Amino acid sequence: MNFALLSLATPLFSGLLLLLCDRALKTGTVAFWAIVSTVVSLAAAWLALQDVVDAGTSIMLNLGGWETGLAIRLRLSSLSALLLVFTALMHLLIGLYAGLSRQGIARDYWPLSCFLHGSLAALWLSADLFNLYITLELLGLTAVAMVALSGKKAYKPAANYLILSLAASLFYLLGVALLYGRYGELDVLLLAPRTEADVITRLALLLMTTGLMLKAALWPLHLWLPPAHTSAPTAVSALLSGLVVKGPLFILWVLWSEVAPPELAQQIGPVLAIAGMIALTAGGLSAMRSPYIKTVVAYSTVAQLGYALMALGLLLTWQLPQMHIALWLFVIAHGLAKASLFLAAGEMQSSLGTRRVEGLRGATQTVPVAMFAFAVAGGSLIGLPPSGGFLAKWVLLEPLLSQPGNWPWAIGVLLGTLVSAAYIFRVVALSFDRARINPPDINPDRVGHWLALLPALMVWGMALSGEWLIQLLAGGGV
């Protein structure tokens, strides 16, 4: 557990220190120290993962040494350790891009990205409902602050994002208050055996789910996401889409798979799965129609979260371990693929000087590596073998197809694949058009393009570690 706390404290410390000696350091050194702290945090997270794997079960820690009911309890399960490693890896990749690519990033990005990393780590580890509320709030504030990095055009969507995020947190808080009023517990593991399906618990869980769905931009409540993620700087939108929306999804999973009584989870399962399927198609269709590159990628986030929501819904309906594995494989594969997609989109946007998809004509010649990164990352979103996306979709499909009764869900997954293939290949096909090429600026930024490609290669490399990932997640995350 100490390594996990180290992995949590390092970014917070470095964020605070960077803010403290803000004037003394040049931007280069700020970036350097931020990346060093991410590397240290990644190493600590990896060691924490080894600890959990050796220990076999999840490791608990009562903060402050008080007894179990009173103190805030941190839980390091195999899932949260894996998510710690994933968060650190994403921050490292995107940090490298932000640091080395010519597009550059505002100086304040670095302390904010350390803070974001710290709050996400606190979220993965916490097993206390109110503590989760505060980590959600931390996440929301840093995300909005980072969206505001790109200047005035981002203020309006950022303000809207913040207002909705505050409202969502209050929904969640009211739910926590009702649960505390009813059961007198705030700790997730103590609440789990005691909850029954009565009016107050139903109301509380409904409130909390609405709040979390709004924060995670899950289908009916996703309207704030595209403007916010499009107007943010490239590196920031990669972080937001790849990581920040996953925090509330994690809490939604904790809520329904542990806190809620099983019969309530059984009832909400199909509803979430259907919402996921609709998100898949609705998000995909609007991604196909939108004329701007970054909006396509933003709507694809909404669509791909539909996959995760469907996996969560089916997990709650049937309690199958494969669904659990599929859910978290989706989260990780989507995170890496989306980061690469956004970085590639940002690179192409700055090299070709256009925000529209039409401007990408002939991109395979003018910015070949960036377009290759876009295509490879898109391949993982669609789920072409041997990418991480394919791994997740395969594990999801297997139980669906075993009983004929579940085939409609499989058709939903098929629909999702076709829709995501449509909006990815709409962009990729356009880039092969040599008739009306959009000429790039004098020397496109090679380093930036290769760094955009890095996460995509990683998501395709996931196939090699597929077996290990699946075996790690098989523990059910408890």
| CB nearer other proteins, residue 259 or residue 395 | 395
Minimum distance, C-beta of residue 431 to other proteins, in the bound complex (Å) = 10
Residue type (1 letter), 17: L
Instruction: From 282-290, 336-344, 345-353, 430-438, give the range in contact with other proteins by CB under 8 A.
Output: 430-438
Minimum distance, C-beta of residue 321 to other proteins, in the bound complex (Å) = 11
Name which position in 43, 92, 177, 189 contacts other proteins (CB under 8 A). Answer: 177
Q: Which of residues 41-80 bind other proteins (CB under 8 A)?
A: 61, 63-67, 69-72
Q: Cα-atom radius of gyration of the chain, to the nearest Å?
A: 21
Name which position in 130, 258, 270, 274 contacts other proteins (CB under 8 A). Answer: 130
**Residue 288 · residue 300 · CB < 8 Å:** no
Q: Which of residues 187-246 bind other proteins (CB under 8 A)?
A: 198-200
| Binding string, residues 9-28; x marks residues near other proteins by CB under 8 A | x--xx--xx-xxxxx-----
Name which position in 466, 472, 473, 477 contacts other proteins (CB under 8 A). Answer: 466
Alpha-carbon span 75 to 375, nearest angstrom: 38
Token pair, residue 333, equals 């594969």
Name which position in 94, 178, 333, 336 contacts other proteins (CB under 8 A). Answer: 178
| CB nearer other proteins, residue 302 or residue 469 | 469
Q: Which residues of 452-477 are buried (b: 16+ CB within 10 A; e: fewer)?
A: bbbbbebbbebbeebeebbebbebeb
Alpha-carbon span 242 to 91, nearest angstrom: 10
As a whole number of Å, the end-to-end CA separation of the chain is: 15
DSSP 367: S
Minimum distance, C-beta of residue 421 to other proteins, in the bound complex (Å) = 5
Q: How many CA atoms lie within 13 A of 235 on its CB side?
A: 28
Q: Which of residues 134-153 bind other proteins (CB under 8 A)?
A: 134-135, 137-138, 140-142, 144-145, 148-149, 151-152
Phi, psi for 105 (deg, rounded to 5): -150, 155
Length of the chain in terms of residues written: 478
Instruction: From 39-47, 162-170, 266-274, 293-301, give the range in contact with other proteins by CB under 8 A.
Output: 162-170
Give the Å distances, CA to CA, from 301 to 10, 68, 119.
29, 38, 21
Question: Which of these, 286, 404, 393, lies nearest to 333 by C-alpha position?
Answer: 393
Minimum distance, C-beta of residue 221 to other proteins, in the bound complex (Å) = 12
* DSSP assignment string, 38-91: HHHHHHHHHHHHHHHHHH-S-EEEEGGG--TTTS-EEEE-HHHHHHHHHHHHHH
Name which position in 84, 89, 120, 186 contacts other proteins (CB under 8 A). Answer: 186
Minimum distance, C-beta of residue 313 to other proteins, in the bound complex (Å) = 19
| Binding string, residues 254-293; x marks residues near other proteins by CB under 8 A | ----------------------------------------
Cβ count near 231 (within 10 Å): 23
Contacts of 199 (CB under 8 A, 6+ apart): none
For helices 246-254 and 129-147, what crossing angle results, to 10°? 170
Minimum distance, C-beta of residue 414 to other proteins, in the bound complex (Å) = 6
| CB nearer other proteins, residue 127 or residue 451 | 127
Alpha-carbon span 195 to 173, nearest angstrom: 18
Name which position in 43, 421, 457, 478 contacts other proteins (CB under 8 A). Answer: 421
Minimum distance, C-beta of residue 452 to other proteins, in the bound complex (Å) = 17
Name which position in 25, 180, 189, 354 contacts other proteins (CB under 8 A). Answer: 180
Handedness of CA 340, 41, 308, 159 (dihedral sign): negative
**CA angle centred on 19, ends 14 and 25, rounded to 5°:** 90
| CB nearer other proteins, residue 284 or residue 379 | 379
Question: Binding residues for other proteins, how many (CB under 8 A)?
Answer: 106
Minimum distance, C-beta of residue 336 to other proteins, in the bound complex (Å) = 18
Name which position in 60, 100, 166, 278 contacts other proteins (CB under 8 A). Answer: 166
Name which position in 75, 91, 182, 334 contacts other proteins (CB under 8 A). Answer: 182
Name which position in 56, 263, 405, 435 contacts other proteins (CB under 8 A). Answer: 435
Instruction: From 86-94, 235-243, 333-341, 458-466, give the range in contact with other proteins by CB under 8 A.
Output: 458-466
Minimum distance, C-beta of residue 206 to other proteins, in the bound complex (Å) = 13
Q: Which of residues 309-368 bind other proteins (CB under 8 A)?
A: 362, 364-365
Cβ count near 153 (within 10 Å): 10
Applying CB under 8 A, does 456 fall inside the site for other proteins? Answer: no
| Binding string, residues 99-118; x marks residues near other proteins by CB under 8 A | -------x-x--xx--x--x
| Binding string, residues 363-402; x marks residues near other proteins by CB under 8 A | -xx---------x---x--xxxxx----x--xx-xxx-xx
Alpha-carbon span 103 to 322, nearest angstrom: 41
Contacts of 429 (CB under 8 A, 6+ apart): none
**CA angle centred on 430, ends 429 and 436, rounded to 5°:** 140
